[in-house]
Structure 1
Amino acid sequence: MNLPYQLFIALRYLKSKKKHRGISFNTVISISGVAVGVMALLVVLSVMSGFHEDLQKKILGANAHVVVVSYKGGIEDYSSVMEKLMNETNIVSMSPFVIGQVMVSAGKRAHGIFLRGIEPSSELKTTDILRHIKEGSIEEIITGDRRQKTEGRLPWIIIGRELASMLGVIAGDTINVISPVGEVGPLGMLPKVRRFKVVAVFEIGMFEYDTNLAFTDIRSAQEFFGYGNVVTGIQLRLDDIYKASLVRDSINKKMGFPYYARDWMQMNRNLFSALKLEKFAMFIILILIVLVASFNIVSTLMMNVMEKQKEIAILKAMGAKNQGIMMVFMFQGLLIGIVGTVIGVTGGYVLGKIINNYEIIKLPADVYYLSKLPVKMKLIDFIVVSFSAITISFLSTLYPSYYAAKLNPVEPLRYE
C-alpha cells in the first residue's frame, strides 16, 4: 500500500536516528503524557458517573419516582385521589403512606428517625425498600400484620442496619417509639410512647437511610400519630424514571389545588446538581493534564523542525509545497495524539474494571454514603475525552507546522 509522502515522512520522523532503532525518546514522552492524561480523566469521570448512578439507585430504593401530597398537610379521601391517578399514563403502581418524626429507644440508647407507615402489599409494587431486607422476610411482615389485626399483637417495625447497630437490637426484639406530639395532661404536653416489635432489618447501603428511616404498618402509624384515616401522600412508580418530570407536571395540571406532585429528581436536586457540577469541574481540571502533554508535542515537533531543516529544504527543492510540509508535521503530532489517546483509553478502561471488580478502594460510609468507590464507564465519556485529547493534539501541531512551512530552503542548502 502506497502511503502519501507526508504520512510516510511523518512516520519516519517519529523514529529515532539510524544508530538508535525504535521510537525516539521524545516521542515516547509525548505519547506517555497524552496517555496518562486521558487515563486519569476517564477514571475520574467514570468514578463521578458511578457516584451519580449509585446514589440514584439507593435513593430510588427507598423512595418512589413521584409523590403526590397536599398543601393542607394530609390527604383525607385518598382512595378517590388514587382512582383519578389511575388514568395517568406511565404510572405502573401506587401506594399511600404516612410519615412523621419520632424517637426510638432500646435500653439507654435512643435516636431520632422518620417513621413511615406503608401498606406492604402495595409498597412491594411501588418501591424497592422491602427488597433490601437482610434479616426477617416479607412474608413475616405480611403475616405479622394480619396477626396483629386479629390477635392484638404488638405492631411491627422495620429498621435499618445502622440504626439496629446503634440501638443494639436484632430482628425479634422490641423497641419504644416516642412521638413528641402527644396528649395534653395536667402537666402540659405528654409524649406518646408505644412498643413496636422489630420484625426485619433492611440495608440500602446509604448511611442516611439505614440510620434515620423506619417502616411500619400504615394503620399503626395513623393511630400512633393521631391521623385517623388521613395519609401524608401517595407514592407513584413509573415505567420510566426519566419521565418523572412530565408525569409531575401532568398531575399538577389535572389535580389542581390543594394537591401537588414532586418527582425524585426535584426532591434531590441539590445533591444531583452538585455531582453534575463536580463532574464538569473535574473534567476541566484534568483536561489540563492533556494540555500539559500538548506542550510536549509542541516541543517535540519544534525540535524535529530544527533538526530536519536540511530535509525540509530538500523536499521544497524537489517541489513540495508549503501545505505538504505542514501536513508532515501535522500528521506527526496527530499520530502522537492518537496513539496516546488509544493507550489512555485502554488503560482507563482496564483500571476502571479493576477498581470496580476488586473493590480496592474502600470508603467510610458515614462520610460518603457509600462503602466502596463506584465506577460507571459511559461510552459518551470515552468519546468526549478521546475527541478532546485528539483535538488538543492537533491544535498543538499548528505553530510548529507553520514554522516548518515558512523555512527558507536556501540557507540550509547554501553550504551543501
Structure 2
Amino acid sequence: MTRGLPVELFLGFRYLRSRGQRTNLSLFVWIGVGGVFLGVAALILVLAVMTGFQDAIRDKIIAANPHLLIFKSGGQGLSGADALAARVRTRPEVRTATPFVLQQALFTSQAGGAHGGLVRGVDLATPTVLDDVRQQLRTGSLEPLKSGEPAILLGGELARTLGVVPGDSITVISPQGAMTAVGMVPKMRRYTVAGTLEVGMHDYDSSVAYLALPAAQEFAGFTGPAAGPSGAAAGPSGTVTGIEVKLVDPFEARRVARAIAGDLGFPFWVRDWMEMNRNLFAALQLEKLALFVIVTIIVLVAAFAIIGHLVLLVAEKRKEIGILKALGASAGMITAAFFTVGMTIGIVGTIAGSAVGLTLIWVQNTYKIIRLAGDVYQIDYLLMKLTPGDFVLVVSATLVLSFLASVIPARRAGSLAPVDVLRYE
C-alpha cells in the first residue's frame, strides 16, 4: 500500500500503526481520530441547528408580518392612507402597501373562555392581502368578512383557548371605551367566528384576530367614511393605524425603509421587520457563537491528544530517528514524517466527522425525527441548515488546530541530533 510513496509519507504511515503490527492502528491514533471526529460532527450539528432555527423563525416572521410599517408621529392614527399607500407603491421594491388597523382587545366566549390579544384590520379588497390571508386560513371562509358581515378570523390557538369553532359568536372588548355618568365603559362588539388562521408561530396564532378593515376602524374608534358599525367593506378612506408594506425582497427592508422615510419626511416614520425583531435575532446569534466556542473545546481536546501521541511517538522512535539521520536523512524529512502522522489523524477525523454530520442533517430534514413543542420553540420540528461559510469555518478551524498540534512535536523530532540519540545506544 505504501510502496512507491515518498520516504516522508512512507515513514508517517508506518508510524500510524501499532508496534509490531502491519495493519492495526495504534490506540492513540484511534483516540485522536475519534476526538477530531466527535468535535467536527458536533460543531456541524450545533451550527446547523442554530442556523436552521434562526432561519425558521425568520421565515415565520416574514410570512406572518409586513416587512415595513409606516406610522405618523403622535400616535393619533393616520389619515389619507389611500394616497400615502399609492405613493409608496410606486417604488419598484414594493410588492404591496395597504392601510391597517391594530388594536389591543380582550376576547371572551359563551363557553367562558377569555384571552387577551390583538385585533388586526386588513384590507381584503387588495388581491395580494386577500391571497396572504387565504394561505393562512385553515378552517371556515373569508366570505363573511368580504361581504361586510360582523365576522372575525381567529388564530387557531386563540380559537382553541376560547373553545369556539366557525359559526360561534365571541365578544371583543376594547380598552378604549366611552366616558359615561358611571365612569369609563369599555367598548364591546359581538362577532361571528368565520374561520381560523394558522401562521405556525404560537405567539401569533394564540393572540391575533383579523377583522375587515372597515370593521376594525369602527372597533378602534377611528373616524372616516369607511368606518361603520356594520363593518361594510367600503373603501379604506378613513383613519387607520398605519401602512403595512410587503417587499419584493424582504432582506432589502432596512435600505428601503431608509429610502421611504427620507421620501415621506416628517411626521412619518418607518420600522422594518429586522428592527422590530432585533433583540430576538441578536440573542440567537449570541447563542450560536457561544455554542460554537463551547463545542470547539472538543476539537481542542483532540488536538492535545494529537500532541500527546506525537510526543510519545518521538520518544519511542528516538533510536530510529538517530539511525535515519546518521544515514543521511535531513531534519526536514524527519519533521515531515511526524507531521504526516498528526495531519493524517486530523484529516481523517475531519472527513469522517463531516460525513456523519452532513448525513444526520439530511436524515433530520428529510424524516423530521426530532419534533419540538410549538408553543415553546415557535416551530414544530428541528430544522437543520448548514451554510457553506459555517462548513468552511468548521473544517478550516479543525485543520488549523491539527496543523498546530502536529508541527511542534514534528519539529522537535527533526531537531534531534544523531550523536546525542545514539551515544548511549
Distance 1:320 1:270, change over 3 A: same
Equivalent position SS for 1:45: helix
Counterpart among 63, 66, 69 of residue 64 in structure 1: 66
Equivalent position SS for 2:147: helix
Q: Give 1:165's aligned residue.
A: 160
Distance 1:160 1:40, change over 3 A: same
Q: Give 1:256's aligned residue.
A: 265
Equivalent position SS for 2:11: helix
Contact 2:145 2:152 in 1 (8 A): no
Deviation at 1:8, TM superposition (A): 2.2
Question: Counterparts of 1:109 and 1:387 in 2: how far apart (Å)?
Answer: 56
Deviation at 1:372, TM superposition (A): 2.2
Counterpart among 118, 123, 138 of residue 119 in structure 1: 123
Deviation at 1:68, TM superposition (A): 1.1
- Work out the number of aligned pairs and report it: 407
Deviation at 1:251, TM superposition (A): 0.9
Counterpart among 193, 216, 219 of residue 221 in structure 1: 216
Deviation at 1:289, TM superposition (A): 0.6
Distance 1:123 1:43, change over 3 A: farther
Question: Counterparts of 2:362 and 2:129 in 1: how far apart (Å)?
Answer: 33
Q: Give 1:201's aligned residue.
A: 196
Q: What are the residue-to-residue correspondences of 1:1-150 with 2, within 5 Å? A: 2-19=4-21, 21-73=23-75, 74-107=77-110, 108-122=112-126, 124-125=128-129, 128-136=132-140, 140-141=141-142, 143-148=143-148
Question: Counterparts of 2:382 and 2:172 in 1: how far apart (Å)?
Answer: 35
Contact 2:124 2:130 in 1 (8 A): no
Question: Counterparts of 1:281 and 1:110 in 2: how far apart (Å)?
Answer: 40
Could you tell me which amino acid in structure 2 is paired with residue 45 of structure 1?
L
Structure 2 residue ranges without an equivalent (≥5): 224-237
Deviation at 1:103, TM superposition (A): 0.5
Equivalent position SS for 1:397: helix
Deviation at 1:126, TM superposition (A): 8.7
Question: Counterparts of 1:207 and 1:218 in 2: how far apart (Å)?
Answer: 24
Q: What are the residue-to-residue correspondences of 1:210-359 with 2, within 5 Å? A: 210-228=205-223, 229-359=238-368
Contact 1:30 1:336 in 2 (8 A): yes
TM-score (normalised: structure 1): 0.93
Deviation at 1:92, TM superposition (A): 1.5
Counterpart among 364, 371, 383 of residue 362 in structure 1: 371
Equivalent position SS for 2:102: strand
Question: Counterparts of 1:15 and 1:186 in 2: how far apart (Å)?
Answer: 95
Question: Counterparts of 2:282 and 2:195 in 1: how far apart (Å)?
Answer: 34
Could you tell me which amino acid in structure 1 is paired with residue 169 of structure 2?
T
Q: What are the residue-to-residue correspondences of 1:373-412 with 2, within 5 Å? A: 373-412=382-421
What percentage of residue pairs aligned between the two structures are identical? 40
Contact 1:60 1:127 in 2 (8 A): no
Question: Counterparts of 2:106 and 2:424 in 1: how far apart (Å)?
Answer: 94
Distance 1:128 1:308, change over 3 A: farther
Deviation at 1:310, TM superposition (A): 1.9
Deviation at 1:177, TM superposition (A): 0.7
Deviation at 1:20, TM superposition (A): 5.7
Equivalent position SS for 1:41: helix
Distance 1:123 1:396, change over 3 A: farther
Could you tell me which amino acid in structure 1 is paired with residue 37 of structure 2?
A
Give me the CA root mean square deviation.
1.8
Deviation at 1:415, TM superposition (A): 5.7
Contact 1:127 1:237 in 2 (8 A): no
Equivalent position SS for 1:227: coil
Question: Counterparts of 1:127 and 1:38 in 2: how far apart (Å)?
Answer: 44
Contact 2:364 2:370 in 1 (8 A): yes
Deviation at 1:321, TM superposition (A): 2.0
Deviation at 1:118, TM superposition (A): 0.2
Contact 1:10 1:332 in 2 (8 A): yes
Could you tell me which amino acid in structure 1 is paired with residue 104 of structure 2?
Q
Question: Counterparts of 1:5 and 1:122 in 2: how far apart (Å)?
Answer: 76
Structure 1 residue ranges without an equivalent (≥5): none
Question: Counterparts of 2:127 and 2:277 in 1: how far apart (Å)?
Answer: 21
Deviation at 1:45, TM superposition (A): 0.8
Question: Counterparts of 1:241 and 1:322 in 2: how far apart (Å)?
Answer: 59
Contact 1:181 1:191 in 2 (8 A): yes
Contact 1:206 1:370 in 2 (8 A): yes
Farther off after superposition, 223-232 or 317-326: 317-326
Question: Counterparts of 1:10 and 1:132 in 2: how far apart (Å)?
Answer: 62
TM-score (normalised: structure 2): 0.91
Contact 1:95 1:126 in 2 (8 A): no
Distance 1:331 1:19, change over 3 A: closer
Question: Counterparts of 1:318 and 1:20 in 2: how far apart (Å)?
Answer: 24
Contact 1:102 1:178 in 2 (8 A): yes
Question: Counterparts of 1:178 and 1:290 in 2: how far apart (Å)?
Answer: 58
The superposition leaves residues 265-293 of structure 1 with CA deviations (integer Å, 9 ceiling, x where unpaired) of: 00000000100111011111110110011
The superposition leaves residues 379-413 of structure 1 with CA deviations (integer Å, 9 ceiling, x where unpaired) of: 22111101101110111112211221121212443
The superposition leaves residues 119-148 of structure 1 with CA deviations (integer Å, 9 ceiling, x where unpaired) of: 124373498454122112xxx31x323432
Contact 1:62 1:129 in 2 (8 A): no
The superposition leaves residues 256-315 of structure 1 with CA deviations (integer Å, 9 ceiling, x where unpaired) of: 111111111000000001001110111111101100111110111112111111221122
